[in-house]
Amino acid sequence: MLPAVSTVVTVMDRDGWEANTDVIVLADPSRRTLLWVPRDTWCPRLGDRVNAAFKLGGHAALLAALAELRLHADHSACLARGAVRNLLRDASVTVPVTRPLVLRYPLAPEQPIEDGEKLVRFDPPSETLTGERIHQWVGARFEQGRPSSDLDRIARQQVFARSLLDQGFGFARALADPELVSTSGPLESLATVDTAWRLRTLPRLRATTIDGKSVLVHHPWWRPSLRYLR
């Protein structure tokens, strides 16, 4: 039996290893849980958002940043965008859509939205995603005409991940290319992720501004309003 080794998996927000991490998920086999950590979560000792940790100090800084949030990870894996592109190149995933969604999205997946945007639409009751439509679903940050946050995007990522698990997709395949994946140790426990695992988001978050940055502050003992929970 594999040991219950927890692993944080992150995805770079652009090609190369000098960027922020766009997605941060802690896989905990002992609890059979995938926990999304919002990338804007503030880490006081790091002096920055958690998504800057890997860029600033590699795996050690990332694990230390999570420890600030009272989250333990034994190892970490950081995926370049190319690893995700390769992994999902031939994927076809059907996701439920509960209400019409019109999302603001960059003109191309690798471009910042400040360089230009387009509107992408997803309609009930479901959408089958392939190619760029996958990246639009999991990557779009803003909804047209209504307030939105990274928690909304995380909710869509979890819907997508659940659909992948339901069709027997093996997440360990994302780690197959050593040139596109940086790891701090053995990651065999990721192979245990299956449909029985729960998908959660870090709770007890409060939106604020620190050093001119819009951030989320984690309070382990604070009871948040329901709008911060997913």
Q: In the chain, where are the structural domains located? A: 7-85+169-228, 92-165
Rounded to whole angstroms, how far apart are CA atoms 128 and 130?
A: 7
pTM: 0.90
Q: Is the pLDDT of residue 180 over 80?
A: yes
Q: How far apart are CA 23 and CA 228, in angstroms?
A: 18
Task: State the pLDDT at residue 165.
Answer: 92
In the chain, % of residues over pLDDT 70: 93
pLDDT for residue 221 is more than 80: no
Q: CB within 8 A of 88, min separation 6: which ones?
A: 134
Overall average pLDDT of the 1-5 stretch: 61
CATH 3.30.420.590, domain 7-85+169-228, yes or no:
yes
The token pair at 41 is 């979560």
Q: C-alpha distances in angstroms, 45 versus 48, 83, 210? A: 8, 30, 13
Helices 150-166 + 132-139 axis angle, to 10: 130
Q: Report the SS3 class of residue 157.
A: helix
109: pLDDT strictly greater than 90: no
Q: Give the pLDDT score at 156.
A: 97
Adjacent-strand bridge partners of 62: none
CB 229 within 8 A of CB 201: yes
Is the predicted pLDDT of residue 36 greater than 90, yes or no?
Answer: yes
| Alpha-helical regions (H) of 69-120 | 81-88
Paired residues of 207 in beta bridges: 216
Distances (CA, A) of 225 to 115, 134, 152, 185, 198: 35, 30, 15, 37, 22
